[in-house]
Amino acid sequence: MIDGLYVYNMDSHEVKEVDSARLPGKSATDKPDITRVFVDDEGYIWLAALYASKVMKCSYKNGILKTESIHDIFLPLSFAQDRCGTIWVGTYS
């Protein structure tokens, strides 16, 4: 998603770019390199920034993406959630 992160509104059938200025990219001038998006059972959005080697836990309310926490995880590739609610991150290794 080199061009950014988008959200589709099911009611209005509109696609809107999410302001991702606060998300980490490869450098301060880069857009984030979001390569995976995962929504957990609590509605949090997990984003994997592959080349920045970051995983971000975010909330999205009223059209605003808020980063709740950032985790340094080397080359994150996939997400899963088990029945106990644990989030698993697969990496390139």
Q: What percent of the chain has pLDDT over 90?
A: 60
Check residue 50 and give its pLDDT: 87
**Where residue 1 falls among pLDDT bands split at 50, 70, 90?**
very low
> Quick one: CA dihedral 26, 66, 54, 36, positive or negative?
negative
Higher confidence at residue 5 or residue 13? 13
Question: Average of pLDDT values for 3-24?
Answer: 83
* pTM for the model: 0.84
DSSP assignment letter at 32: P
Q: Domains for the chain: give ranges and CATH numbers.
A: 5-91 (2.40.10)
User: Residue 88 pLDDT more than 80?
Assistant: yes
Work out whether strand 76-81 and strand 64-72 pair parallel, antiparallel, or are unpaired: unpaired
Which residue type, as a one-letter code, is found at position 13? H
Tokens of 44: 């949090």
pLDDT digits (tens, 9 = 90+) for 32-74: 688 899 999 999 999 999 888 999 999 999 888 999 999 999 9
